Amino acid sequence: MGGAVDVKGNVFIDGRTDGSAEWNIFWDPPAAKTVLTCPHLKTVVFSLDSTNSVPVTSAVVQKFGAQNEYLLSQFVGATWASCTHVVLMRPDDGYYAWDVLTAAYAVDKSLAEVEPVALEVVVEANHPIEGRTKRLPAGAVSGNTVMAKNTKADFFYQMVLNSTRRCLPK
């Protein structure tokens, strides 16, 4: 999970960033650039472009509560419930199932479509767009990367709900 290609980022440091970078890429832009531009490594990127479709909302958390006879459902519901307040503090920047979506794709590839994409990572230290992930112009060649798109959010939520029922009831 990393990057924000055609959407705004989630790194907002006053006087330091312009909000175009995503946190995981921002943390180590040179490493991200190495991975995303390596022609020998096939990379599937779940950027904010795809993960923004799976917000962790109170309505989502309530679905786990509806099946609270399962310990794992209680755990996931309680854990995600502790994150739903983020949207109250920053209405345009809630909490999303970033890594869970990425891991779920490893289980079921029908969860999202992918498209080949040539990406560039801004590595200039202390620049307002440091860590920004940009799409290269059409026809440019860079790495062996595909980007997830058209995430099936309802299918994803159902996958997670179903998986929490696989553990024994309490």
**Percent of the chain with pLDDT strictly greater than 90:** 84
Structure tokens at 7: 């959407």
What is the pTM (predicted TM-score) of this model?
Answer: 0.90
CATH number for the segment(s) 23-164: 3.90.245.10
Confidence of residue 40 (pLDDT cuts 50, 70, 90): very high
Nearest Cα residue to 160 out of 35, 28, 63, 31: 63
Give the C-alpha separation, 30 to 46, whole Å. Answer: 18
Give the C-alpha separation, 114 to 38, whole Å. Answer: 18
Strands (E) located in the chain: 42-45, 113-116, 119-121, 133-135, 144-149
Asked if residues 97 and 124 have their Cβ atoms less than 8 Å apart, the reply is no
Query: For position 170, what pLDDT does the model report?
Result: 62
Q: In the predicted model, is pLDDT for residue 92 greater than 70?
A: no
Q: In the predicted model, is pLDDT for residue 65 greater than 90?
A: yes
Q: Is 114 exposed, middle or buried (0-12, 13-18, 19+ CB in 10 A)?
A: middle
Give the C-alpha separation, 154 to 53, whole Å. Answer: 10
Give the C-alpha separation, 89 to 155, whole Å. Answer: 28
pLDDT digits (tens, 9 = 90+) for 132-154: 999 999 888 778 899 999 999 99
Nearest Cα residue to 29 out of 20, 50, 116: 20
Domain ranges of the chain: 23-164
Give how far Cα 150 sits from Cα of 50, 80, 112, 127, Å: 7, 23, 6, 31
